[in-house]
Structure 1
Amino acid sequence: MEEIKIGSVLSFGDYNWRVLDIQNNTALIITEEIIDQRPYHDAYKDITWADCTLRKYLNGEFYEKFNAADKSRIITVINKNLDNQWYGTKGGEDTEDNIFLLSLEEVCKYFGDSTSKLNNPGKNQRYWFQRKDENNSNRLAKLHNKEWAWWWWLRSPGRVNVKAVYIFGTDGNIGIQGNNILKGNISDGKCTGGVRPALWIK
């Protein structure tokens, strides 16, 4: 693997990716931009990451867009899917993924450490992290080929299992209560949740 550093941007497949972590000559990367807008699931029902249609898409159709050389660099991982720390909503079973969304814990770790806010919410905090969190701006991402930021999905459950945690598009705050998994109507093209795929490469 070429010489890379945490925080650097590299080209892989058709996109630019930011390096979030490096371990044993492997790197965790996430797309620099929001590359797609999709619902978390295609029906308004209780669901977890293991069974949602967005996971199926990322590990199926999206994964197949990579050529053989790139696929040989992608590492299959076992992802832990923890319960929501504020609401206790079930995160579901562990999953084996080639491509995935970041979890609530990972986004609190890799964009500046906000773990203390995850584990120790303020008494008036019910739906999102502190608006003055110094790491908020680090989580902002633009839509691909656009000049404005948008909100994007995490794989973790929100306060109920018809919601998934997301990152605000206006300030980068963490919406731990979640957005509806079916945000709008598929037929109307209004499922506007941003997608930033993540993966480990060697």
Structure 2
Amino acid sequence: MKNFKEIGVKIIATSLMAAMAMSHVACKKEAEETAGQSFTAPSAQSRTFTGIANAADAKAGDIIIFGSYEQDNDLSNGAEDIEWLVLDNTDGKLLVISKSVLNYMRFSNTTTVWEYSDLRTWLNGEFYDSAFSDDEKSSIALSVVDNPGNPYYGTSAGSGTNDNVFCLSYDEACTYFFFNNWNDSSLSGNSESIIGSPSVWTKKEKLASAYAITEGYYNAVLFNYGFSANCIGVEGCDWWLRTSGQDGDHACIVGMYGSVNASETSSITVAKGVRPAMYIEY
């Protein structure tokens, strides 16, 4: 039997006030320390690593090629390599999230509790089994995933879980991505680097709702948020976070054009994008 290291996901909320304070500090500190650097977004300075042989050298913003999954909607050429965006490299493990939105599905039909969600079942079952070889699986850590409540509504996301693959929480999204702007009072901000573009397969087969950023929308809205003109033409779609929303029928999402808000939620029965995240040990 494979031995897994148990890894704690970084943000743990012990109370509503603690969660709110941590969210404020994490996002605000990130924006202050990295203003003008979308360090978690692939760029001309990003490096690409094939496999984990040299993973120790990877930095936030780099790309790791690891595993494979259908993305171009051409089944005749097999599954495509998955590109993972590095969010953190600490203590011999990489926290990564898929560069693209790889699926489009509901959170659950009945509950916002991550432990019992359809999304968690799919990620740790069908996706995990099909996307990775046995050798690759041996490098994916079984992580102790804490599920802090929603800092705006005070709703619970349930108990912690042991997951190979998971969705980021609202707090983690705030911590690991650079925000072009942030509002403490509304627990909301906008991040160019967090925009998730769907794969061709996700759009064609899963009918993901994706819309390209027009020059007009950029000039009227996103320019004022501090986004660069590089985002013009980028397709974005909403994607799931694992944090609960205002009630038992809603969960948090990242908006298609990079908005993150503790009160920005979707009905759990509506299909949204999925960007798997995980820890890779090296």
TM-score, normalised via structure 1 length = 0.83
Per the alignment, residue 116 of structure 2 pairs with 51
Say yes or no: does 1:70 pair with 2:136.
Answer: yes
Higher RCO (C-alpha 8 Å, min separation 6):
1
Q: How far did 1:47 drift?
A: 2.9
What is the CA distance between 1:113 and its match in structure 2?
A: 5.8
Q: Determine whether 1:166 maps to 2:243.
A: no
Superimposed CA distance per residue, residues 125-144 of structure 1 (whole angstroms, 9 cap, x where no aligned partner)? 4xx72xxx4x5211111111
Given that 2:112 and 2:157 are in contact with CA atoms closer than 8 Å, whether structure 1 keeps it comes out as no
One-letter code aligned to 1:102: L
Instruction: Give 1:171-190 correspondences, 5 Å limit.
Output: 171-177=257-263, 178-183=265-270
1:159-190 Cα shifts (integer Å, max 9, x gaps): 11211100110x2111423100001xxxxxxx
Distance 1:46 1:57, change over 3 A: closer
Bigger CA radius of gyration: 2
SS at match of 1:13: strand
Structure 1 stretches of 4+ moved >3 Å? none
CA–CA separation in structure 2 for the residues paired with 1:25 and 1:46: 35
Give the SS at the match of 1:75.
Answer: coil
8 A Cα contact 1:77 1:97, kept in partner: yes
Kept in 1, the 8 Å contact 2:107–2:117? The answer is: yes
Q: Which runs of 5+ in 1 are unaligned?
A: 184-190
**Equivalent residue, structure 2, for 1:18:** 85
Q: What CA distance in whole angstroms lies between the structure 2 residues aligned with 1:182 and 1:67?
A: 31
Q: Gapped runs of 5+ residues in structure 2?
A: 1-51, 69-81, 204-233
Query: Match of 2:258, as an amino acid?
Result: G
The share of aligned pairs that are identical, in percent, is: 31
Alignment partners' CA distance in 2, 1:69 and 1:38 = 28
Write the distance in 1 (CA, Å) between the matches of 2:146 and 2:60: 22
Higher share in helix:
2
Distance of 1:63 and 1:148 partners within structure 2: 26
Q: Alpha carbon RMSD of aligned pairs, Å?
A: 1.9
2:46 match: none
Alignment partner, residue 60 of structure 1: 125
How many residue pairs end up in the alignment?
180
Could you say what secondary structure the match of 2:278 adopts?
strand
Q: Which amino acid aligns with 2:129?
A: E
Shift of residue 106, structure 1, vs aligned partner: 0.3
Specify the code of the residue in structure 2 equivalent to 1:194. G
Secondary structure of the residue aligned to 1:86 is coil
Query: Given the alignment of the two structures, is residue 108 of structure 1 paired with residue 174 of structure 2, yes or no?
Result: yes
Counterpart residue number, 1:90: 156
Residue deviations 1:24-53 (CA, integer Å, cap 9, x gap):
111000000101101001x2x343101101
TM-score (norm 2): 0.60
| Partners of 2:153 and 2:261 in 1: CA distance | 13
